[in-house]
Amino acid sequence: MSLSRRQFLTTTGATVAAAATTALFASSEDRDRYADAVLADQNLLAYWRMEDDLDDARGRAPGTAQGGVPRFVQRSGGQAVTLAQGQFLTMGPTPHLDVPISTIELFFQLTATPSKSHNPCIIAKRSTRDDCRFSVHVHRDVSHFVLWNGLYPVHVEPLDGPLGGSRSIAPGSGRR
């Protein structure tokens, strides 16, 4: 099945919205069972746990930090990498991720309120703005996600309502 860019973004948006409502893992055993299940998938192309390193468990796309050294911190759902302003991670060339249909799953927490002129990017597959497979952003008002393919933005409300308000992902809320 071949999807247009707009269809791909709309389909991906539903997946992102569903993943945003997933509960955190309560114990290290839960996290390890989850990791084992993910790694057992023969179709898995890449998997970065972000626990003490930026390694891809499949060994194909190790991460590197740009703009400074990231810190690894303990969170209720396990370890996480935390980035300061101007820092980001890159996984280098990843042609093995250029597939027609894919699923992205991630847990995140914003640690600063976005500026009024910018939608922070959480994850992207691109080398330049014009060469963009996809990028996932949190809208600057922290109410929903914005998916971008270099041509069209698609605004996606999480299935359980806006991100903001009493369930905000703003600093200190604990939502990932």
Across the range 163-172, mean pLDDT stands at 41
> Is pLDDT of 56 > 90?
yes
Instruction: Pick the last residue of a domain from 64, 87, 103.
Output: 103
Angle at 132 (CA atoms; ends 131, 133), nearest 5 degrees? 125
Average pLDDT rounded to a whole number, residues 85-113: 84
Same domain, 115 and 127: yes
Residues 6+ apart with CB under 8 A from 87: 65, 66, 67, 68, 70
Domain range holding 132? 1-22+107-176
Q: What pLDDT, on the 0 to 100 scale, is given for residue 14?
A: 39
Q: How many domains does the chain have?
A: 2
Instruction: Name the residue type at position 33.
Output: R
CA distances from 84 to 3, 70, 71, 88, 111 (A): 36, 8, 9, 8, 9
pLDDT of 48 over the 50 cut = yes
Domain boundary, last residue among 67, 88, 103: 103
Q: Are residues 43 and 83 in the same domain?
A: yes
* 117 and 80 co-located in one domain: no
Mean pLDDT calculated for residue range 26-37: 82
Task: Write out the H or E segment, with its range, that includes residue 29.
Answer: helix 28-40
Residues 85 and 118 in one domain: no
Percent share of the chain, pLDDT over 90: 13
Q: Is the dihedral of CA 4, 10, 16, 19 positive or negative?
A: negative
Residues with Cβ within 8 Å of residue 173, at least 6 apart in sequence: 109, 167
What pLDDT, on a 0 to 100 scale, did the predictor assign at position 57?
A: 92
Residue 37 pLDDT > 80, yes or no?
Answer: yes
Please give the structure tokens belonging to residue 92.
């280098």
